[in-house]
Chains A and B, each alone.
Chain A
Amino acid sequence: AQSVTQPDIHITVSEGASLELRCNYSYGATPYLFWYVQSPGQGLQLLLKYFSGDTLVQGIKGFEAEFKRSQSSFNLRKPSVHWSDAAEYFCAVGAGNTGKLIFGQGTTLQVKP
């Protein structure tokens, strides 16, 4: 069965520091992969997605993610974090051609001044 694991429940970084949020998935075929962000009191906003092609994908707000098939990973990165990036981040995998997404548990990002 498909699954998504975000190993880090909570991460704290200093403003201006680099960020990497981890995501590992279990899926038999080439997956559709997503990162969403949830700011406090808000819904989920799509940051970026991977379907095929270039394994390094660019998203909004300066985020990028790299698909590594050999490691079953889709880690999210940002070179310099801003205080407004404090939020909860969710990784998700498309469950085949079912129209459904499987979500990870989420990683809460705290940004120190």
Chain B
Amino acid sequence: DADVTQTPRNRITKTGKRIMLECSQTKGHDRMYWYRQDPGLGLRLIYYSFDVKDINKGEISDGYSVSRQAQAKFSLSLESAIPNQTALYFCATSGWDSQETQYFGPGTRLLVL
């Protein structure tokens, strides 16, 4: 079984809809991250969390919110989706002792019409 899972893997939604992307991990890591990937831009950090009570904005948090329901679960929400949020979204985890090494889920491909 994969250590970092993301659901759904693919999603098509309409402008204005609220959607949630979910991430679960079995690595026992405290730290979790959400990135989006756009062609030519690499990966950009949306939000990150170092433990259940710690949530931090990344470089592109506008239009997104997150919830850390448990150590193993970190969800990303788009409150009112817009077309420029069409992207590939990745969840990642790392341990406090992993020297910043991050482990990635398989990604969620989101299309906003």
Task: Flag the segment in B40-48, B62-70, B77-85 that touches A.
Answer: B40-48
Complex contact B105–A46 (CB within 8 A): no
| Chain A 1-47 interface residues, beta-carbon cutoff 8 Å to B | 4, 9, 32, 34, 36, 42-46
Residues of A within 8 A of B58 (CB): 100
In angstroms, Cα B107 to Cα A75, docked, is 26
Complex contact A44–B101 (CB within 8 A): no
Complex contact B103–A94 (CB within 8 A): no
In angstroms, Cα B104 to Cα A42, docked, is 10
- What class of interface size applies to chain B in its complex with A? 20 to 34
B39 to chain A, nearest CB (A): 9
Q: Is the interface of B mostly helix, strand, loop or mixed?
A: strand
In angstroms, Cα B43 to Cα A99, docked, is 15
Q: Is A67 in the interface zone, CB < 8 Å from B?
A: no
Question: Which listed residue (A99, A103, A106) contacts B100, Cβ 8 A?
Answer: A99
Q: Is A83 in the interface zone, CB < 8 Å from B?
A: no
A95 to chain B, nearest CB (A): 8
Complex contact B101–A49 (CB within 8 A): yes
Question: Which listed residue (B41, B42, B101, B105) contacts A34, Cβ 8 A?
Answer: B101
In angstroms, Cα B99 to Cα A99, docked, is 8
Scan B76-111; emit 1 where CB is below 8 A from any A CB, else 0. 000000000000001010101001111111110000
Complex contact A106–B42 (CB within 8 A): yes
Complex contact A94–B99 (CB within 8 A): yes
Give the 5 A-B residue pairs with the shortest CB-CB distance, closest first: A94-B100, A44-B104, A103-B42, A43-B104, A43-B106
A residues apposed to B, CB below 8 Å: 4, 9, 32, 34, 36, 42-46, 49, 51, 90, 94, 99-101, 103-106
